[in-house]
Chain A
Amino acid sequence: MPEQCGRTFGEALLSGYLDGTLVQGDEQRVRLHLEDCESCRTLVDGLAAVKETIMTSTFDMPPDNEWSEGPSTGSSRVARGVGWPLVIGWAVLVCGYAVWEGWQESENLVERLILVGGVSGLGLLFLGVLLDRLKAMKTDPYREVQK
């Protein structure tokens, strides 16, 4: 900006003028100045041309089928949310029944110990994984939108 411009407002107002976001008084001040000042006019015209170029640009878009989980994402998360407890409930029932049957069938203490030890070990592993998943679900999805 040349020294002799004589602008009485901050240069950033030229951007506000370009965007049409100035209050009436500021808008008028800028407009009046632009009538007299060629260098500011050149600047605004230059900025306007760049803005117009950006505004009218068009980009290649990915086709709809590239959105993998797509729009159904919300619903499928809900479905998975309901599905897992059902699967877990079923697994617990079946295993429980198997253990009960095994217990009835087995003759001696060693067989019973092997049965109980194996099943409770598996159960603990499963519980550990489950707790991790729950913790991740609780913290993960909300992380990005908290400010």
Chain B
Amino acid sequence: MVESPGLATFAGDAGGSDQELVDQALAGRREATETLAQRHRQAAYLLALQLLGNRDDAMDVAQEAMLRFFASLGTFDRERRVQPWLFTIVRNQVRDLWRRRQRRPGDGLSEAGEALTRQLVDLTANPEADLRRRELKQRVWRALAALPAAKREIIVLRDFHDLSYSDIAQVLDIPIGTVMSRLHGARQQLRAQLQAGGRHA
């Protein structure tokens, strides 16, 4: 098993900005394509995993998203950043999957939450001392999985993937002026869920 390294850097990343790599990939340079793929596919997988909960589904979605990403490289607008554009594709794939299975984004959430927390990795050297932190992580991701899809998406994009408000607006296809209030509403609901869960526990 491999653990997620810092998402930005990889050993063997030949460097160069995403935009330069896109140009080189379009010119047929295979190394550029490989570097682009290695740089972004893990984030694509993680977003899919966090939205779907299920590892195999997430892998299918991420693979397909990468295919579509490279297939549409020619139409990529250079003013935009690669990651939000790829995330737009991932999100559409996730919604397609829900639609194909005739499920609404809220169905089967407790299984999704359980499956998702099983994918959490404990990186601390002293697991005993950090038991509380680990339990907190599991509770938070379980509660996130139980939120309506739109709320889960916005929190994950901001707090895990560290997207700017304007990138979030692009991925979710919403006006940038509404990002902060939607994010706050989602965070409030998550917090309420955690507090309710804490009382029952």
Residues of A participating in the B interface, judged by any CB pair closer than 8 Å: 10-16, 19, 21, 46-47, 50-51, 53-64, 66-75, 77-78, 141-142, 144-145, 147
Q: How far is the CB of B191 from chain A (nearest CB, A)?
A: 6
* Given A58-B3, A58-B123, A50 and B191 contact (CB-CB distance below 8 Å): yes
Known: A60-B55, A67-B41, A74-B33. 4 other contacts (CB 8 A): A51-B187, A54-B144, A73-B37, A77-B71
Tell whether B97 is near chain A: CB-to-CB under 8 Å. no
Choose from A16, A55, A59, A77 the contact partner of B70 (Cβ within 8 Å).
Answer: A77
Choose from B2, B28, B93, B141 the contact partner of A61 (Cβ within 8 Å).
Answer: B2
Tell whether B126 is near chain A: CB-to-CB under 8 Å. no
Q: Produce 1/0 per residue, B4-46, CB < 8 A to A.
A: 1000000000000000000001001010011111100110011
A13 to B180 alpha-carbon distance, docked (Å): 7
Most buried by B among A46, A53, A68, A144: A144
In contact, B2 and A63 (Cβ under 8 angstroms)? yes
Choose from A47, A71, A75, A145 the contact partner of B187 (Cβ within 8 Å).
Answer: A47
In contact, B3 and A63 (Cβ under 8 angstroms)? no
Choose from A53, A58, A75, A141 the contact partner of B33 (Cβ within 8 Å).
Answer: A75
In contact, B187 and A15 (Cβ under 8 angstroms)? yes
The number of chain B residues with a CB under 8 A from chain A is 64
Q: Which of B133-172 contact A (CB under 8 A)?
A: 133, 136-137, 140-141, 144, 155-156, 158-160, 162, 164-165
In contact, A59 and B120 (Cβ under 8 angstroms)? yes
Choose from B4, B92, B158 the contact partner of A144 (Cβ within 8 Å).
Answer: B92
A48 to B72 alpha-carbon distance, docked (Å): 38
In contact, B70 and A145 (Cβ under 8 angstroms)? no
Tell whether B49 is near chain A: CB-to-CB under 8 Å. yes
In contact, B33 and A72 (Cβ under 8 angstroms)? yes
In contact, A12 and B89 (Cβ under 8 angstroms)? no
Q: Which residue of B lies closest to A58 (CB)?
A: B121
In contact, B184 and A53 (Cβ under 8 angstroms)? no
In contact, A145 and B119 (Cβ under 8 angstroms)? no
